[in-house]
Structure 1
Amino acid sequence: PAAPIIEGAVADGYRRLLAPSIERDIRRTLTEMAEAHAIQIFGTNLRSLLMQAPVRGLNVLGIDPAYRTGCKVVAVDQYGVLLDYTTIYPHEPQRRWAEAIAALGALVERHHIALIVIGNGTASRETEQLVAELIKTRGGSLQYLVVNEAGASVYSASDLAREEFPELDVSMRGAVSIARRVQDPLAELVKIDPKSIGVGQYQHDVNQKELSRALDTVVESCVNYVGVELNSASAALLKYVSGLSASVANQIMLYRLTNGAFRTREELKKVKGLGPKAFEQAAGFLRIADGEDPFDNTAVHPESYGTAREILARIGFRPEDMRSKDKLREIRRRLRSLDPSELAAALGAGEPTVRDIIAALAQPGRDPRDELPPPHFRADVLRLEDLQPGMALKGTVQNVVDFGAFVDIGVGKAGLVHISELSTEYVRHPTDVVQVGEIVDVKVLSVDPDLGRISLTMK
Structure 2
Amino acid sequence: MSEQKVITEEQAKVTEQQVREQIIKQIASELQISLKQIRTTIDLLSEGNTIPFIARYRKEMTGELDENELRDIEERHQYLRNLQERKDEVLRIISEQDKLTEELATAIQSAAKLQVVEDLYRPYRQKRKTRASVAKEKGLEPLSNWIMEQHASPAPLVEAERYVDADKGVEDANQALQGAMDIIAESLSDDANLRTWIRRYTLDQGMLVTEAKAPTEESVYEMYYSYRELAKKMPPHRILAINRGERENILKVQLEVQPESIHRYMEKQVVKGSSAVRDLLINVIEDAYKRLIAPSIEREVRAELTEKGDQQAISIFAGNLRNLLLQAPIKEKRVLGVDPAYRTGCKLAAVDGTGKLLEVEVTYPTPPHNKKREAADIFRRMIKQYDIELIVIGNGTASRESEQFVAELIQEITDQELSYLIVSEAGASVYSASKLAQEEFPDLDVAQRSAASIARRVQDPLAELVKIDPKAIGVGQYQHDVSQKHLESSLKAVVESAVNHVGVDVNTASPSLLSYVAGVNTTIAKNIVKYREENGKFTSRKQLQKVPRLGAKSLQQCVGFLRINGGENPLDYTSIHPESYAATTKLLKSLKITPEQLGTPEAVEALSNVDVEQASETLDIGVPTLRDILDSLQRPGRDPRDELPLPIFRTDVLKIEDLSPGMELQGTVRNVIDFGAFVDIGIKNDGLVHISQLSNSFVKHPMDVVSIGDNVTVWVLNIDHKKGRVGLTMRKSSADEAAQA
**Shared fold, TM over 0.5:** yes
2:399 counterpart (124, 132, 154)? 124
The 5-angstrom pairing of residues 340-359 of structure 1 reads 340-359=612-631
Q: How far, CA to CA, are the matches of 2:615 and 2:337 in structure 1?
A: 51
Q: Quote the Cα distance in structure 2 between the aligned partners of 1:352 and 1:263.
A: 29
Which residue among 288, 298, 301 is the counterpart of 1:13?
Answer: 288
> Superposition pairs for residues 278-293 of structure 1, below 5 Å?
278-293=554-569
Match of 1:372 in 2: 644
Q: How does 1:194-273 map to 2 (within 5 A)?
A: 194-273=470-549
Q: What residue identity is the alignment partner of 1:360?
A: S
* CA distance in structure 1 between the aligned counterparts of 2:504 and 2:485, rounded to whole angstroms: 27
Q: How far is the alpha carbon of 1:18 from its aligned partner?
A: 1.9
SS of the residue 2:392 aligns to: strand
- Are 1:316 and 2:575 matched, yes or no? no
1:362 pairs with 2:634: yes
After TM superposition, give the deviation of residue 313 of structure 1 in Å: 1.3
Code of the aligned partner of 1:137: E
Aligned to 2:311: 36
Per the alignment, residue 726 of structure 2 pairs with 454
Runs of at least 5 residues in structure 1 that lack an aligned partner in the other structure: none
Secondary structure, in 3 states, of the residue corresponding to 1:42? helix
**8-17 or 225-234, which moves further after superposition?**
8-17
In terms of Rg, which structure is larger?
2
| Off by >3 Å, runs of 4+ in structure 1 | none
| Aligned-pair CA distance for 1:149 | 0.5
Alignment of 1:342-421 (within 5 A): 342-421=614-693
Match for residue 325 of structure 2 among 50, 58, 83: 50
Q: Give the aligned partner of residue 98 of structure 1.
A: 373
Work out the CA distance in 2 between the residues paired with 1:321 and 1:332: 9
Query: Partners of 1:426 and 1:344 in 2: how far apart?
Result: 44
Q: What is aligned with 1:424? A: 696
- Residue 395 (structure 1) shift: 0.7
Does structure 1 residue 64 correspond to structure 2 residue 339? Answer: yes
Compute the displacement of 1:147 (Å).
Answer: 0.4
Instruction: Give the secondary-structure state (helix, strand or coil) at the position aligned to 2:647.
Output: coil
Larger mean CA deviation between 285-294 and 86-95 belongs to 86-95
Percent identity over the alignment is: 55
What displacement does 1:314 show?
1.6
2:61 matched residue in structure 1: none
DSSP 3-state at the match of 1:366: coil
Structure-2 residue corresponding to 1:182:
458
Partners of 1:250 and 1:316 lie apart in 2 by 41
- Tell me how large the CA RMSD over aligned residues is: 0.9
Letter in 2 for 1:405: A
1:99 Cα deviation (Å)?
1.3
Between the aligned partners of 1:171 and 1:407, the Cα distance in structure 2 is 27
Partner of 1:85: 360
Distance 2:303 2:359 in 1: 54
**In the alignment, structure 1 residue 113 sits paired with structure 2 residue 356:** no
**Structure 1 counterpart of 2:314, which letter?**
I
Q: Give, in whole Å, the separation in 1 of the partners of 2:664 and 2:294.
A: 55
Tell me the equivalent position of 1:434. 706
Residue type at the aligned position of 2:696: T
Separation (CA, whole Å) in 2 of partners of 1:169 and 1:6 = 74
Size of the aligned set, in residue pairs, is 455
Describe the superposition over 1:258-312 as per-residue Cα deviations: whole angstroms up to 9, x where unpaired. Answer: 0010000100000011011111100000001111110011000111111111111
Q: TM-score, normalised by structure 1?
A: 0.98
Unaligned runs of 5+ in 2: 1-275, 732-741
The aligned residue for residue 146 of structure 1 is 422
Structure 1 residues 314-355: Cα deviation after superposition (integer angstroms, max 9, x where no partner): 211111222xx6xx1111111111111100101111111111
- Secondary structure of residue in 2 paired with 1:412: coil
Q: Distance in 2 between matches of 1:167 and 1:18?
A: 63
1:296 maps to which of 572, 577, 599: 572
Tell me, in whole angstroms, the C-alpha distance in 1 between the residues paired with 2:281 and 2:413: 90
- Deviation of 1:19 after TM superposition, in Å, equals 2.1
CA deviations on 1:337-388 (whole Å, 9 max, x unpaired) are 1111100101111111111100100000100000000011000000111011
Shift of 1:227: 0.2
Return 34-43 or 308-317, whichever deviates more.
308-317
Between stretches 284-293 and 1-10, larger displacement belongs to 1-10
Q: Shift of the alpha carbon at 1:20?
A: 2.2
Partner-residue secondary structure (3-state), 1:20:
helix
Q: What is the CA–CA distance in structure 1 between the aligned matches of 2:277 and 2:545, rounded to whole Å?
A: 83
Describe the SS at the equivalent of 1:95: coil
